[in-house]
Structure 1
């Protein structure tokens, strides 16, 4: 009996650590929760460049500012929000979770699911920028 208890005590930290998020995953999750929270409050996080700077790379913010400057009739504007990759959203999208992540030569892709049923999934391309993990770009998965 003592051996079983000792074995369980030794293995329990492994179970706990397996459930923890990597730095990239945690950064993506915090960003998406903030971003959706703003949308659900009818705020416009795409123009809150100061707060976006905490979560999004400086190059991406520069491109976003350029896209938002001037007359939108003169530019080819995206049909969907650049961070949630959708034109609209459901109230249950406040439930956000990390499904998985993988690494490639360009970035760490963190797969984020929105909603109770996880029917909407994006991949946040996370890179180091100014010493923090930040979103470079987002791709719609489903």
Structure 2
């Protein structure tokens, strides 16, 4: 009997799962570092290090890195969607939409393969 390797979760699903978790943290006034194993499961090593450096710098961070805003909107809770990812080798790109209605918040999320799965490598506002 042949054994198949576990299937790699699609990058857009990883991004959607991350933002569902992350918005939930924000709604409960928690930080991703409160759940370091989950944070490491979704975010690349280099991005985690970069964010830690920014937070520790004299200027700190002006806005939340992952949502590109200073706070979250209540409409984001339970309303996270992602477009099918465009995959090129070990890199992928998807658009995550937070919220619904007239003013959804869109983010361009780049993911990279790391440690056998897709992890968020960068985020920009769309």
Moved over 3 A (4+): 46-50, 103-106
Measured in 1, the distance between the counterparts of 2:100 and 2:73 equals: 10
Structure with greater proportional helix content:
1
Superposed displacement of residue 113, structure 1 = 0.4
| CA deviation string 1:104-141 (max 9, x = no partner) | 68831110001122621001101101111000010100
> Which ranges of structure 2 fall in alignment gaps of 5 or more residues?
1-8
Which segments of 5 or more consecutive residues in structure 1 lack a partner in the other structure?
1-21
Give the TM-score normalised by the residue count of structure 2: 0.80
Across the aligned residues of Structure 1 and Structure 2, the Cα RMSD in angstroms comes to 2.1
Structure of greater relative contact order (alpha carbons < 8 Å, 6+ residues apart)? 2
TM-score normalised over the length of structure 1 = 0.71
Which residue of structure 2 aligns with residue 65 of structure 1? 52
2:82 to 98, 113, 121: 98
Q: In the aligned structure 2, how far is the partner of 1:68 from the partner of 1:49? A: 16
Q: CA deviation at 1:63?
A: 1.5
Does residue 133 (structure 1) correspond to residue 118 (structure 2)? The answer is yes
1:48 CA drift (Å): 4.2
Larger Rg: 1
